[in-house]
A and B are shown apart, each in its own frame.
Chain A
Amino acid sequence: MTKRRWLALVALFGALTLVTAACADDEGGGGETGSTGTAPTGAAGCEADEFGCVEIGSGEPITIGTLLAISGDVAFLGLDSQYGVELAVDYLDGAFDGTPGQIAGHDVNLVNEDDGCSAEGGQAGGTKLAADTQMVAVIGSSCTSAALGVADQIMADQGILLVSPSNTNPNLTAEGVTTGFYARTAHNDKIQGAIVADFAIQELGAQTAATINDESPYADALAAVFRAGFESQGGTITTFEAIQSTDTDFKPLLTSIAEQSPDVLYFPDFNPACALIAKQAADIPGLEDTALIGSDGCADPSYTETAGAAAEGSYISQPDTSAFTQGEFYQSEFLPAYEDLVGDTPTAAFHAHSFDAMNIVADAIEAVAIDNGDGSISIPRTALKDALLATSGYEGITGTVTCDLLGDCATEVTIGLYQVPDVPFDDPQAKPVFSETKTLADVPA
């Protein structure tokens, strides 16, 4: 091709781009079917609302999305949460009968996407959901890496409410960082880290501790919060180490840690690293008297399976929902319905949180939906978000759910420290050896 022809082509291309750009909607629009503008019907509430209303015509369903880790190595986490949402939709009519219920007189259309437990996955899945102008709210994400700065921003840009059942990283609801359209029913790890530190100091009488975190935001934050809490109560951190979640050989690291003979070794990582650390620590002479503590990232059956005998006596922290999961509703209605739907017992803990999340979203929709009188409703987006963040005293499976303005709905969290083999993921009736309830006000900012 000659140079001239090439230049002509480039010029044509450039001109076309400019033309289409000029004709484009600017920031915030450019969606698939029209803009999220004002509503033709409905009250003045829609026009005043910054993001307008979602118009649900008569007989049309309300679209709710899920953005969870449903594929890959952490599928057990995301799928479990997704089942919780499905059960919540079923229970909207007051019974687990396999037929979904309704919100404000409309059916619910669940759209499931994968958050890939990564930033790109969160972006890809989040974009797919946010492109649907009928999307009212999204339950997700499973992993912090998909939400932080990615999905939460994508949703907030469209005014779509995002409620997570399992993100625990403090930054998602930190002042100045949170997007405003984000909430979570999972606990804030500021609380969990502080409670683990309390356990180490008060219960175990530890004076020195070492931490090992992996590359995930979850572990990084949790280890840091633990260190802060431990040191503020007079303890000393001997070493804080980092690993890759795909590493398999921790012996040199553990040998190095053993040199300082810490009283406690805290490794809030995921499996299999968690299990392998516990297993290999048993072979290190210097760590014989060191208490091993993991957190809810370790809390699945593969921990005890992989670590075997070495895990005996180690501690795992995770939300202590026994006050409610021992309750009637959970045991006699929820669990059987879960097993009917899935064919197996729960693989993770957060189905309860996603169940509650879906329910408070449904309640918020019911509260703000504007009935247009002809069978259609309008749901103002900002009002929905406000209503959700104002949720107070809702009795869910995970406890009493009261949201604060920054998005933390699990404001009063009970974390239990369980000792292997008495752990909830192997024995649903397990009792913690230490349990504490804290609110966000109790922990340092």
Chain B
Amino acid sequence: MAEVGDAARARALGRLERFPVRRIVLIALSAGVIGAVAYGSIKTLTLPAGEAYSASAWRDFIVLGIAQGAVYALIALGYTLVYGILRMINFAHGEVFMAGAFGSYFFADAWKQSGFMDDQPWLSIGLLVVLAMAVAVTVAVLLERIAYRPLRGAPRLVPLITAIGASLFLQNTFRGLFGSQTRGYPKPTGLEGTWTILGIPIQKVQVLVLVVAAVALVALTLFVARTKTGKSMRAAAEDAEIASLMGINVDRVIVTTFVIGGMLAGIAGVLFALTFGNISYFMGFAPGITAFTAAVLGGIGSISGAAIGGFTIGILQSVGPALLLTGINVPSPFQLKDVVTFLILILVLLFRPGGILGTGEAEKV
């Protein structure tokens, strides 16, 4: 008697477990999100003339988004390269970016005051980028050597926690060394103002950001595709064990990866500082998470994915609050721009963890 009851109960439970709760939740969620996005956008775009945004405002948002996206793309590359080889999220990468900006700051300040920056804008920016790269690379290599290398084989939880700790440590080291106040980052006077390109006014700084980012991306892609080191990197990313059996010095490849990531972060640091005009010890946190979102969005592990993800996130952050929230009368929509970013992150991880360029399948645990 009891057995029959048990069997019946087991069957019922089994049916319950196979009941696609997860599928239903996901479908409901996606319907809700698409619905909300559509609704908000339509309401904003159909606002009466006095309240609606003008075409020039949208244009400004988009240009701004692209410029910011370029910076995010550069930082995202660092995340994606490290993830490709080590399969770990380098939480402290945002701090590498911050270190680069800080490293160049003192020289920038001195050169602005002495007039060197205004006399020789391109030379000074070039030197600042080099300096930023040097500092960022140093921090990145130290990170790898001290915090990550000893934990190569550890369970996945461990390096992640270490990365969080390293991020905290670096932030507060810079705070202790240089003080907690935000500092204004100078700009050469030659870089103030806008250029009109194809009828669109774009700030000179933004043009610089786009050009530099584009050059860096192209250089990186060529490097990874053509050079021997690049090929080693790709091999190690595929399968580190086999790569080492084939004679590739995986340790050196890893260091190179961190170096390249650091260089890109350093460049991003200077560009960010020039764009927003300030640096502080906590400036790495928010761009770090946003850039990581970009990397995930584009497809973590993929270089072009990081680039696409970066630009997409930049535009979404810039346009999103205005587009989605103004119409439905949410007060102070720009306060919620990070909410937009994080929602995108959550949605991507839910529906397409491989990202835009990924395979569409979750990497199994």
Contacts and interface: CB of A to CB of B under 8 A. Distances in A.
Q: Do chains A and B touch in the complex (CB under 8 A)?
A: yes
Interface of A: 72-73, 240-244, 246, 248-249, 251-253, 255-256, 258-259, 271-272, 275-276, 279-280, 283-285, 302, 305-308
Contact of B181 (A272, A280, A308): A272
B265 to A, nearest CB: 17
B277 A306 contact: yes
A272 B185 CA distance: 12
A306 B276 CA distance: 11
A306 B53 contact: no
A305 B279 CA distance: 13
A272 B280 contact: yes
B311 interface: no
A243 B278 contact: no
B278 A256 contact: no
B227 interface: no
Interface in B195-229: 201, 203
A248 B180 CA distance: 15
Given A241-B334, A244-B335, A249-B276, A306 B184 contact: yes
A279 B184 contact: yes
Among all A-B residue pairs, the 9 with the closest Cβ atoms: A306-B184, A272-B182, A253-B334, A242-B332, A73-B180, A241-B332, A255-B60, A242-B335, A279-B277
Contacts of A279: 184, 277-278
Nearest to B319: A252
Contacts, number: 83
B235 interface: no
Given A259-B53, A271-B182, A306-B183, A252 B334 contact: yes
Nearest to B65: A252
B114 to A, nearest CB: 16
26 contacts: A72-B180, A241-B332, A241-B335, A246-B286, A248-B276, A248-B283, A249-B68, A251-B318, A252-B61, A252-B64, A255-B61, A256-B322, A256-B334, A259-B53, A259-B57, A272-B280, A276-B277, A279-B184, A279-B277, A283-B203, A285-B201, A302-B181, A302-B184, A305-B184, A306-B183, A307-B184
A252 B322 CA distance: 8
A306 B201 contact: no
Nearest to A302: B181
B321 interface: yes
Contacts of B318: 251-252
Contacts of A242: 331-332, 335
Contacts of A258: 57
A272 B182 CA distance: 6
Contacts of B180: 72-73
Given A255-B64, A302-B182, A246 B278 contact: no
Instruction: Give the one of A259, A276, A305 with max B CB within 10 A.
Output: A259
A308 B186 contact: yes
A240 B332 contact: yes
A93 B365 CA distance: 74
A246 B184 contact: no
Contacts of A259: 53-54, 57
A248 B278 contact: yes
Interface string B265-291: 000000000001110101100100000
B352 interface: no
B121 to A, nearest CB: 16
B337 interface: yes
Given A279-B184, A283-B203, A243 B334 contact: yes
A117 B60 CA distance: 37
B277 A252 contact: no
A272 B282 CA distance: 12
B322 to A, nearest CB: 6
Nearest to B53: A259
Interface in B228-277: 276-277
A248 B285 CA distance: 12
A359 B317 CA distance: 52
A366 to B, nearest CB: 40
Nearest to A74: B180
Nearest to A73: B180
A339 B317 CA distance: 48
B57 A280 contact: no
B181 A73 contact: yes
B338 to A, nearest CB: 9
B182 A256 contact: no
A252 B283 CA distance: 18
Contact of A306 (B57, B182, B203): B182
B337 A252 contact: yes
Contact of A255 (B57, B184, B201, B317): B57
B337 A276 contact: no
B184 A256 contact: no
Contact of B184 (A73, A283, A308): A308
Contacts of B182: 271-272, 275-276, 302, 306
A249 B203 CA distance: 15
A151 to B, nearest CB: 23
Given A73-B180, A73-B181, A251-B64, 16 more contacts: A240-B332, A248-B286, A251-B318, A252-B64, A252-B318, A252-B334, A253-B334, A256-B333, A258-B57, A259-B57, A271-B182, A275-B184, A280-B276, A302-B181, A307-B184, A308-B186
Contact of A252 (B186, B201, B278, B321): B321
Contacts of B335: 241-244
A253 B335 CA distance: 9
Instruction: Give the one of B180, B276, B334 with max A CB within 10 A.
Output: B334
A307 B203 CA distance: 18
Contacts of A302: 181-182, 184
Contacts of A73: 180-181
A73 B182 CA distance: 9
Interface in B325-341: 326, 331-335, 337
A378 to B, nearest CB: 45
B321 A276 contact: no
B278 A276 contact: yes
A256 B54 CA distance: 10
A302 B184 CA distance: 8
A284 B333 CA distance: 19
Contacts of B331: 240, 242
Contacts of B68: 249
A276 B276 contact: yes
A243 B333 CA distance: 10
Nearest to A307: B184
Instruction: Give the one of B53, B60, B283 with max A CB within 10 A.
Output: B60
A279 B186 CA distance: 11
Contacts of B334: 241, 243, 252-253, 256
A212 to B, nearest CB: 9
Nearest to A242: B332
